[in-house]
Every structure is written in C-alpha cells, then in structure tokens.
C-alpha cells in the first residue's frame, strides 16, 4: 500500500495565484493530502473558501496563526509536510526567505520545517531582473533544501512580454511529484545525462515515412526526473509534440541517421546515457525528392538497414560511462531484453510491454521490468512515466561507479 503523501502549499500575493487552484485540484485528485497557507496579500486574489473547497480542508491564514492551538500552528504544519510548495513566490517573500525572516505564518512555517521546498516565482520582468531580487534568488538556492521552478517567458499581467511568468500548473505538479519520490535528494548533481526520445521517421518521399507510434513521453519523463535530481541534461529527440523543459540542451532530428550523429557527438561527455527513443530498424532503400504519385508506389518496397545507434554507443562506451537501453516488446518481454542487454554491451535495460492497456506508446503510464548486467531484475507495476523514470534512476544509481555495491530502493519508496 502506498504511503500517504502530504503537500503544504504557500500562496503569495500575485495574480498567478489563480493558477495554484489547478495545482491543488490535480494533487487532490491524485490522492495527495493538501494543506494551504494564504498570505494576507494572497487573499486579495483568491479566497480561503476557494482553496478550502479544492483541498477539502480549511485554509490557513495569519488570523489562524495568532489563535491558540494545542501546538504552535507553524510547528504542526512544518512537521506535517512531505513537500512544501510556494507559488507564486513574490519578491517580498523571496527576500524574507533569503535572510531567514519570519514575520507571518508562511515564513515561520518554512523555518519550522525540514522537508524540501519547491519555489515558483512570479513577478513583473523589471522586478525579476532587479539586482537585489536576483541576489536573493541565487542566495536562497545555495541551500539545497530549496528547489527552483524558474519563471518562464511570456505575456504578463502588466501587458509586458518577458521573463517573470510563473511555471504552468502541469510543470509545478511534476516538480512536486518528483520531490515526493526523491525527498529532495540530488543524486545526479553535477552529472551529465544524455537522453534520446521520440520515434524516428524514415521517409520514402516528402510526405510518406516508415515510423512508429512513439510520442516521446517516456523520454520527457526521464528528462524531468534527471533535471529534478540535479543533472545537466542533453536531449536528442525525433519529432515531438511537447515543449522541452527549461535548462535542457535539446537537439532535434528526424531520422535514425540524424539521431545517430547527434548522439555520437554528445556521447563522450555523458556520464549516463538513456536511449529511450524508438528508432526505426529499416528505411526505404531510395528516397524521392518529390511526392510519388499513388500509381508510382512500388508493390514491394525495397528496404535498407539504418544505423544501430545503441550498439555503436556500447562499442564506444568508456569504463566510467553507463548506458541504459529500452526494449519495447509484446509477449515475452524478458528474453529479448536480456539478449539486447548482453549483445549491445548495456549496463541496464528497460523491458516494457506495448500489448497491455494504458501503457507504452502515447500513454502517460507505463510498466516495465528492469534488468542490469549484474544479474539484478525488478518488476515495476503500472505507474506514471515520471514515477517509472525516477525508479529507473534509483535502480541504476549504483552503476555510476564500477564495482560499487548497489543498494536498490523499493519501487514503493517515494522524490
């Protein structure tokens, strides 16, 4: 049985406060217990009744802070939380946190807690770019307890287009879910992680291609998990329909040859490489620069092999590098995955079924069996792709140093 997950949300005074309502609702629907603190200024934008209705629990304000309680309220809340989200983080609250000032319920609770704190700033571009604000931001992030969702670029409430827009609710929820799994650990801090994602396309002419249903969602989850654990991430991707997260070096390609070039160019610098892309096995032997008329299509399409990228990476792998592969299979998923693990000189492989409902290509969920070259094998039941990504990094954590004995966390453990 999964342990209860508890998230405390502090809402600051800014128009972006309305976005936090979606975060509260999404977390509650996912079975997370949510408690909310509203600053006095936050109540100028959303009401305690709104967040209480969404979280199914009364909201806390400074008025509650000064009422008698069996135990001090800020102590009680600080000890209760597994993760503390502050969104929107205003310039005012940021300055208080950077100097350890505690003059309201929100800031007192931060100092009275030990759990990881996720920060999602939101403010006008000029405010965000002020030297004092940036100094406070950088100073606060020297404390590894604090995790950042830096503001994005876009249209602001002041009609300015620029930096300062709070992260979108889906990105915030993903950050919270990562911290619930890792408890804030950054075991990939300073490591360079290379990830491939998406399904390659091998074109016959400008409009027809040999491809597969991969959307790259598993690759996105791996990117998010690696970022949240402190890694420098390089993503090599085939055509995708999602936005690459901030802070990622992204290299786009279409076919296997382009992906091979990008992977080989970046592989030497990588500590850990995860080849999650669904790369085509063959391509049309000939390519037409113009669309072929239907009558000109061959009855039998001549095919040619494409580069075996993961095998080439296995041949080039240095002793300090770790290489993880994926094997999407139907029926028996273990035997072909174990063969691929050995033949391609992988350190570990993810065998995942594509013939089960609501897993694999296009789904937000997955299931898998992890195998490594030390003979370990662990089954991961149906879960979100983000959770599977974190469990994969847990599984391979002991492979970073050759010969190091690996301690694997149970897949029921929760970042």
**Mean pLDDT of the residues in the chain:** 93
The two domains 6-182 and 192-399 share their CATH topology (first three levels equal): yes
* DSSP assignment string, 307-369: --HHHHHHHH--TT-EEEEEEEESS--HHHHHHHHHHTT-SEEEEEESSSTT-STT-SEEEEE
| Cα 340 from Cα 327, distance rounded (Å) | 8
| Cα 136 from Cα 96, distance rounded (Å) | 9
pLDDT in tens, 24-40: 999 999 999 999 999 99
Task: Name the helix (H) or strand (E) containing 225.
Answer: helix 217-228
Annotated binding site for CTP: 281, 291, 307-310, 326, 340, 344
Given a contact cutoff of 8 angstroms between Cβ atoms, the answer to whether 36 and 80 are in contact is: no
Beta-bridged to residue 341, according to DSSP, are none
Q: Nearest to residue 144, comparing CAs of 245, 257, 230? A: 230
Given a contact cutoff of 8 angstroms between Cβ atoms, the answer to whether 216 and 245 are in contact is: no
Q: H helices of 45-189, where?
A: 48-55, 62-65, 73-80, 91-99, 105-111, 125-128, 131-141, 169-182
The whole-number mean pLDDT for each consecutive block of 10 residues of the chain, a chain of 415 residues, reads 90 96 98 97 97 97 90 96 98 97 97 98 94 97 96 82 90 98 95 97 96 96 97 97 94 97 98 97 96 93 96 96 96 96 97 91 94 95 96 87 40 31
What fold does the segment set 192-399 form as a domain?
Answer: Rossmann fold (3.40.50)
In this structure, CATH architecture of domain 6-182: 3-Layer(aba) Sandwich (3.40)
Beta-bridged to residue 203, according to DSSP, are 209
pLDDT in tens, 181-198: 999 999 999 999 999 999
Q: Nearest to residue 218, comparing CAs of 354, 375, 371? A: 354
| Cα 182 from Cα 176, distance rounded (Å) | 10
Cis, bond preceding 88 (omega within 30 deg of 0): yes
Given a contact cutoff of 8 angstroms between Cβ atoms, the answer to whether 276 and 218 are in contact is: yes
Beta-bridged to residue 327, according to DSSP, are 351
Name the pTM for this structure.
Answer: 0.92
Q: What is the pLDDT of residue 400?
A: 62
All structural domains of the chain with their residue ranges: 6-182, 192-399
| Cα 246 from Cα 249, distance rounded (Å) | 9
Q: Nearest to residue 33, comparing CAs of 2, 18, 55? A: 55
Helix (H, G, I), strand (E, B) or coil at 415: coil
Annotated binding site: 281, 291, 307-310, 326, 340, 344
CA distances (Å), origin 177, targets 171, 222, 410: 10, 13, 17
Given a contact cutoff of 8 angstroms between Cβ atoms, the answer to whether 302 and 350 are in contact is: no
Active-site amino acid positions: 158
Q: Nearest to residue 235, comparing CAs of 224, 258, 259, 251? A: 251
Q: What is the pLDDT of residue 87?
A: 98
| Cα 115 from Cα 109, distance rounded (Å) | 11
Q: Residue 355 class from Cβ within 10 Å (0-12 exposed, 13-18 middle, 19+ buried)?
A: exposed
Q: How many helices (H) and strands (E) does the chain have?
A: 14, 19
CA distances (Å), origin 371, targets 115, 253, 313, 340, 366: 32, 29, 18, 11, 16
Helix-, strand-, coil-residue percentages of the chain, each rounded to 5: 35, 25, 40
* DSSP assignment string, 181-195: HHTT--TTTT-EEEE
CA angle 136, 138, 139 (to 5 degrees): 60
pLDDT in tens, 293-312: 999 999 999 999 999 999 99
Beta-bridged to residue 348, according to DSSP, are 324, 372
Pick left, alpha or beta for residue 184 (phi over 0 → left; psi -120 to 50 → alpha; otherwise beta): left
| Cα 367 from Cα 8, distance rounded (Å) | 30
Written as six digits, the tokens of 125 are 């571009």
């Amino acid at each position: 049985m999964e342990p209860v997950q508890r998230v405390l949300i502090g809402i600051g005074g800014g128009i972006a406060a309305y976005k936090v309502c979606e975060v509260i609702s999404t977390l509650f629907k996912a079975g997370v217990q949510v408690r909310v603190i509203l600053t006095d200024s936050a109540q100028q934008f959303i009401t305690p009744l709104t967040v209480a209705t969404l979280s199914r629990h009364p909201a806390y304000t400074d008025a509650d802070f000064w009422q008698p309680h069996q135990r001090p309220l800020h102590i009680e809340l600080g000890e209760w939380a597994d993760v503390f989200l502050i969104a929107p983080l205003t310039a005012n609250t940021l300055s208080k946190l950077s100097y350890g000032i505690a003059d309201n319920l929100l800031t007192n609770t931060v100092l009275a807690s030990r759990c990881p704190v996720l920060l999602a700033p939101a403010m006008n571009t000029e405010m965000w770019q002020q030297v004092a604000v940036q100094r406070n931001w950088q100073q606060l992030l020297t404390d590894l307890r604090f995790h950042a969702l830096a503001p994005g670029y876009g249209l602001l409430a002041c009609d300015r287009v620029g930096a300062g827009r709070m992260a979108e609710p889906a990105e915030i929820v993903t950050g919270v879910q990562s911290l619930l799994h890792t408890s804030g650990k950054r075991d990939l801090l300073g490591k360079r992680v290379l990830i491939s994602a998406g399904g390659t396309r091998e074109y016959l002419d400008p409009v027809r291609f040999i491809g597969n249903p991969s959307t790259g969602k598993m690759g996105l989850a791996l990117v998010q998990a690696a970022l949240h654990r402190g890694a420098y991430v390089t993503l090599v991707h085939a055509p995708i329909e999602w936005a690459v997260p901030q802070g990622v070096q992204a290299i786009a390609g279409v076919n296997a040859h382009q992906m091979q070039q990008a992977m080989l160019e970046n592989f030497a610098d990588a500590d850990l490489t995860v080849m999650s892309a669904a790369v085509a096995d063959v391509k049309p032997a000939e390519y037409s620069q113009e669309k072929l008329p239907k009558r000109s299509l061959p009855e039998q399409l001549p095919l040619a092999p494409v580069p075996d990228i993961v095998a080439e990476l296995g041949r080039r792998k240095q002793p300090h590098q770790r290489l993880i592969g994926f094997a999407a299979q139907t029926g028996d998923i273990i035997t072909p995955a174990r063969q691929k693990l050995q033949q391609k000189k992988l350190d570990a492989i993810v065998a995942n079924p594509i013939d089960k409902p609501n897993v694999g290509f296009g789904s937000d969920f997955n299931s898998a069996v992890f195998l490594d070259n030390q003979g370990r094998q662990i089954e991961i039941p149906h879960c979100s792709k983000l959770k599977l990504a974190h469990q994969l990094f847990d599984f391979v954590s002991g492979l970073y140093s050759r010969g190091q004995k690996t301690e694997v966390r149970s897949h029921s453990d929760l970042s």
